[in-house]
Amino acid sequence: MSTETGRESRRSGVLVNVMRWMENLSDTQYAYLLLGPVFVLLGVVALYPLLRTFELSLYAVSLDLTSSSFVGIDNYVQLFTGGKNRFLPGGTTFVPSSLSFEALLNSALVVTIIFAVVSVLFETLIGLGQALILDQDFYGRRWVRAAIIIPWAVPIVIQGMIFFLMFNSNVGFATPPLADLGILAPTNTLNDTASATFIIIVADIWKTSAFMALLILAGLQSIDRGLYDVAKVAGASKWQQFKLITFPLILPTIGVAVLFRSVQAMRVYGIIDTVSSCAVVPSLSCMVVATFNTRQGTAAAIAFVTAAIIGIAVMGLIAWQGEDAI
């Protein structure tokens, strides 16, 4: 009996000491303590593969994948100097070989950046408009919210097939009117790089605007409605209420939404492969997939550069929002 009592006393003593130590921590130290397991998991799941990818990018792997040789940063030099880096049919390169329109559209880096910037910009604007409408009180609002989510719920393969049939130059109904306006090529539309890039951007905007709308709507719902009552008493117009109350308060939410979508947009692959092909519309992910089986060192270099670009974009957005906003 006395032995068990002694054990319980020691156990309770250790627990008490740990609890006292935690109570003496500052708020910042306590926050880092709780985040510690997350940092460990992140290091195992994300950091190690990233470092392993960088290590692989320093080697040239043989075509049969049986041997490799250390080449240092040669894979990166080839990517950025226009060396032997035509990986896909049609003369696709990592960086543009010139500033001509054709060369820019044949660059996977340029096309990926264009896709990310244009699609995220329009998705944010359209999502903001949808969120402002859904934030109003009107009959059937629940059903309208459900309807807006439908495009976001559509799988990428089905989404790609929808737009493939819509813009197919033989059977599609959407090509002729846009071709008459000079926006799309009238024939062989999905095999024209400029036309296919436009279609893929439209397809992505159609699908993902709902995602932006839901995130922004969450920010709108968190605004204290009493602020608008005070603004009305002060004689503020609808535009002044949006400019001085709504937009500043949802700006952090917009920043988070843009951050998430930018990361996803930089990794675009599925919609390209289902609507057209990577040979017509190149992207960084397309180049990784195309080169992985035969040139793993080059594929690793492209993947690492893509991760670096995403990291820079993320840090830029966080710096723009401020430390306390995200």
Can you give the pLDDT at residue 325? 47
For the chain, the C-alpha Rg in angstroms (whole number) is 26
How is residue 241 annotated by DSSP? Answer: H
Q: Worst-scoring range by mean pLDDT, 95-99, 175-179, 242-246, 305-309?
A: 95-99
Within 8 A by CB and 6+ apart from 131, the residues are 212, 213, 214, 216, 217, 219, 220
Condensed to tens digits (0 to 9), the pLDDT of residues 206-249 reads: 999 988 998 999 888 888 888 888 888 888 888 888 888 889 89
Within 8 A by CB and 6+ apart from 188, the residues are 169
Condensed to tens digits (0 to 9), the pLDDT of residues 286-295 reads: 888 888 777 7
CA–CA distance, 13 with 26 (Å, rounded to integer): 22
Q: How large is the greatest C-alpha to C-alpha distance in the chain, in angstroms?
A: 94
Q: Worst-scoring range by mean pLDDT, 43-47, 119-123, 252-256, 310-314?
A: 43-47
SS3 label, residue 224: coil
Tokens of 268: 């675009």
Torsion of the alpha carbons at 54, 60, 61 and 63, rounded to the nearest 10: 140
Tokens of 175: 């090509």
Please identify which residue in the block is written with the tokens 């402002």: 132
Q: Is the pLDDT of residue 114 over 80?
A: yes
How is residue 12 annotated by DSSP? Answer: H
Tokens of 177: 């009117």
SS3 label, residue 8: helix
Condensed to tens digits (0 to 9), the pLDDT of residues 134-171 reads: 888 778 778 888 888 888 888 888 998 999 989 887 88
Condensed to tens digits (0 to 9), the pLDDT of residues 191-201 reads: 888 899 999 99
φ/ψ of residue 69, rounded to 5: -135, 145
Name the β-bridge partners of 59.
Answer: 70
Q: Is the pLDDT of residue 66 over 70?
A: no
Within 8 A by CB and 6+ apart from 124, the residues are 212, 254, 257, 258, 261
